[in-house]
Amino acid sequence: MELAAVSMRDVENDLSNLSKWCFESIMVQKWKCSGVSKDGQQHSNQFSPGSHEPQENYGDDCVMCGLTREQVVGGGSKSPVKLTAISIVAGIVAALGVGSWVVLRWFQPPDPPVQPNDIESQCGTDKLVKKSGSLFGAIEVGSKGIKGKVIQELETLNADGSKLVVFRKEKIEERNVTAIEPDSKSATVESVKDMFIEIQERFNIPCEQIVIYGSSGLDQAPHKTILAQEVQQATGRAMEFLTPEAEANLAFDGVVPEWRRGEVVLTDIGSGNTKGTFLNSDNQHVTFSIPFGTVTFTDEVKRIQGNAGFQEAAEGAKKELTQLISNEIQRKPGMQNSPRVYLSGGISWALSTLVRPCSEEYSVTGKQEERFDSFVPIRSEDIATFYYNATQAQKALFEPNLDACSDERRAEVLEDIEKIRNDIFSTENLIAGAEILRVFDKELGFLENRCSLSVLRKMRFR
């Protein structure tokens, strides 16, 4: 089985899981395989050795011989466009009756700024009402930050059958508030209100056309109800919360190419929880979830820590974590049976950045997809290395060997390491996240039941 860790750096770091960089136009091409690798050598994943009639492919590997696109034609472009779980917002807006699905498109200039007297800090209705224009705002209150994006409703369905498109040019700055902490409730409400006003001012979006929702990491937060009440008091807008199951399904549909969905189990290790989805034999979504993510597992370890060190306490706390995952596997054996695993979440991105920062990428494209995704192969032992460095060798953790990186990639990695170290994760978060990865590695048998591991580092768009 192949494991891919979906790079959700922006779950922790930018615009409702949307890229912090502008999208670059990339023409995605189909590729042709004749069964011969670029170096002329037999490769371990080549199940049908030797040449064959030229075969045109859109996926990451040839349907005739199993060679990857990278092995046949080389790696893909290195555009710095990051992954987004835009389907989460899309599903919220669509469910509220605005349109069908959401795909990413290029930014179009917003309408002229709203005059100050048109801005409403407290909206007159908590319902989603189309008042004017074709733009809608979405504010996500996540466990570790508040993010926003803008959605446009098209007059007619586009070529993909979509009525909604997400676009942006000027980023909406994330508000770095730890919303999952009860003590941060007031700061969270103020940050939501501030972003609510900003979206109206900058994009000429009526308050009635702005959606506010909480990620599934907050679904079990003790202050969830009072937080929603105070957000509504401050903005006039109702705040909805995603369940882990709903978020997992939406992320699965947004992350996994349609033609690949029968082969994949997606596991999203977030800040507040871990959830995932795969399709059963009837092509129906099957979801699983556990109430621990990098932050909540950190909190659990601290709760039972006593006089022990954090690492020792984490070893003890992982017994409960292991049991929770084992129980889910027993109820849903498809978690182990899918030939590919995609990991998402900030800790998975940190794993790939800190352990395999310079690995050559290969690409997956879909015939009907607007994106192609860059994968970086990893191994089960990479998770062990990540854990060891997080617990025993912090200097090595934050100073990986970058000799094989291009100048562009090196600059990107150094920037990312700085953010991992100083902005996104505490030392305890990294240890807790590495522990979660280790448990999933053991319980899902990444190497025992799968043929390879890989990290989905980037999502790109044409």
What SS3 state is found at 285? strand
Task: Output the pLDDT for position 25.
Answer: 21
User: 157: pLDDT confidence band, cut at 50, 70 and 90?
Assistant: low
User: 298: pLDDT confidence band, cut at 50, 70 and 90?
Assistant: very high
Burial 289-300 (b: 16+ CB within 10 A, else e): bbbbbbbbbbbb
For residue 224, what are the CA distances in angstroms to 49, 247, 249, 287, 445?
A: 57, 17, 22, 23, 35
pLDDT in tens, 27-38: 234 567 888 877
Q: What is the pTM of this model?
A: 0.68
Task: Output the pLDDT for position 113.
Answer: 46
Task: Output the pLDDT for position 457.
Answer: 56
What SS3 state is found at 155? coil
Mean pLDDT of 167-183: 80
CATH fold match for the domains 2-14+245-461 and 86-241: yes
pLDDT in tens, 195-210: 999 999 998 999 988 9
Task: Output the pLDDT for position 163.
Answer: 65
Sequence-separated (6 or more) residues with CB below 8 Å from residue 264: 252, 256, 278, 338, 340, 341, 342
pLDDT in tens, 73-125: 653 322 222 233 344 445 555 444 443 333 333 333 344 444 444 576 788 87
Looking at per-residue pLDDT, the higher value among 382 and 377 belongs to 382
Has domain 86-241 been given CATH number 3.30.420.40?
yes
Name 372's bridge partners: 365, 460
Separation between Cα atoms, residue 337 and residue 318, nearest integer Å: 24
Separation between Cα atoms, residue 169 and residue 162, nearest integer Å: 21
CB atoms within 10 A of CB 395: 7
Domain 2-14+245-461 CATH (choose: 3.40.30.10, 1.10.150.530, 3.40.190.10, 3.30.420.150): 3.30.420.150
Separation between Cα atoms, residue 141 and residue 16, nearest integer Å: 9
User: 368: pLDDT confidence band, cut at 50, 70 and 90?
Assistant: very low
Looking at per-residue pLDDT, the higher value among 102 and 178 belongs to 178
pLDDT of 14 higher than 80: no
Q: Which two tokens stand for residue 458?
A: 């980037």
Domain boundaries, the chain: 2-14+245-461, 27-76, 86-241
Separation between Cα atoms, residue 421 and residue 12, nearest integer Å: 13
Half-sphere exposure of 271 (CA within 13 A, CB side): 26
Phi/psi of residue 64, nearest 5 degrees: -90, -45
